[in-house]
Amino acid sequence: MKVLLAVLKQIHKPALCTGNPRCLSSGATSGLLPLGDEAPMVGSSPELVQKLRSQVEVRTDFITEAEEAAFLRELDPGLKKKRYEFDHWDDAIHGYRETERLRWGAACEEILNRVRSTAFPECSQLLGPVHVIDLDNTGYIKPHIDSVKFCGSTIAGLSLLSDSIMRLVKEDTPSEWLDLLLSRRSLYILRDQARYKFTHEILKNEESVFNGQRVPRQRRISVICRNLPG
Ligand SMILES: O=C(O)CCC(=O)C(=O)O
Ligand SMILES: [Fe+2]
Ligand SMILES: [Mn+2]
């Protein structure tokens, strides 16, 4: 357990560049492009949204309320024994507790197999333990890129208990950004450039606005599957 949590610390190394992609003085709302019934994304330009569409997926209502409850039953007792961590200024995550789990009960295992077959090619070698982050309602995840040493080309995450906004920002060009509406019970998948060339973050409640619409951020649990570096 200790080893994986150390790996997770590496995964969570915050990015040095933290350009604000939506600085109001730069006319930030121009170029917003809602995608209709496709993945709920808006970005800095239609071209960027178009380019990233093949590498970013959000599947709304990927799990049912009953399946969400199954995860809660399995995860909450263990999480409740931990305290939310707030005071690690150097961490990429603020206001969180986390765990990882290799063996799951039948209900959750079945859901996770659905996540795996949706997100990863059949031959893909997956990171065995699944990563779980419980963000307090005041918690948030700062911009970072997951460690290339420990994680492969694809990151797939379920969002439980709350809607949230995930923001991607091009590492060397902060004016290029994409916001994803991660609705409660959705699955997101980041692949390739979206995973390697863009930082990702989960916005704090005060900043949680999608395409002009306020998206209240409550306590949120994410369940994240990753593959191994090729
Ligand atoms: O909570 C999430 O969905 C994202 C977590 C994340 O970025 C990470 O653990 O590296
Ligand atoms: Fe991450
Ligand atoms: Mn720390």
Residue 84 belongs to domain with CATH number = 2.60.120.590
Q: Does residue 107 form part of some domain?
A: yes
Q: Which ligand is nearest to the CA of 162?
A: 1
User: Residue 98 gets which letter from DSSP?
Assistant: E
Are 196 and 56 spatial neighbours (Cβ–Cβ below 8 Å)? no
Q: Residue 214 is part of which domain span?
A: 2-17+30-226
pLDDT tens-digit profile of 40-91? 999 999 999 999 999 999 999 999 999 999 999 999 999 999 999 997 777 8
- Position 25 in a domain: no
pTM, 2 dp: 0.88
In a domain, 24, yes or no: no
pLDDT of residue 85: 94
Q: Is residue 209 part of a domain?
A: yes
Report the distance separating Cα 95 and Cα 12, nearest Å. Answer: 14
Judged against a pLDDT cut of 60, whether residue 109 lies above it is answered with yes
Of the bound ligands, which one is closest to the alpha carbon of residue 88?
3
Chain mean pLDDT for the chain: 88
Beta carbons within 8 Å of 124's beta carbon, 6+ residues apart: 152, 154, 227
Residue 22 lies in a domain: no
The residue nearest atom 9 of ligand 1, judged by CA position, is 12
Please give the structure tokens belonging to residue 76: 């909450």
Pocket residue to mutate for ligand 1, from 183, 188, 202, most atoms within 8 A of Cβ: 202
What is the per-residue pLDDT across 133-165, written as a single tens digit (0 to 9) for each?
999 999 999 999 999 999 999 999 999 999 999
What is the number of domains present in the chain?
1
Give domain status of residue 77, yes or no: yes
Closest by CA position to 168, among listed 11, 34, 27, 57 = 57
Q: For residue 23, tell me if it sits in a domain.
A: no
User: Nearest-CA neighbor of 51 among 181, 228, 176, 224?
Assistant: 176
On whether residue 47 sits in a domain, the answer given is yes
- For residues 180 and 40, give the distance between their C-alpha atoms in angstroms, rounded to a whole number: 6
Mutate to test the pocket of ligand 1, among 133, 148, 150 (most ligand atoms within 8 A of CB): 133
Number of other CB atoms surrounding residue 88 within 10 Å: 12
Q: Alpha-carbon distance 16 to 138, whole Å?
A: 23
What are 97's strand-pairing partners? 134
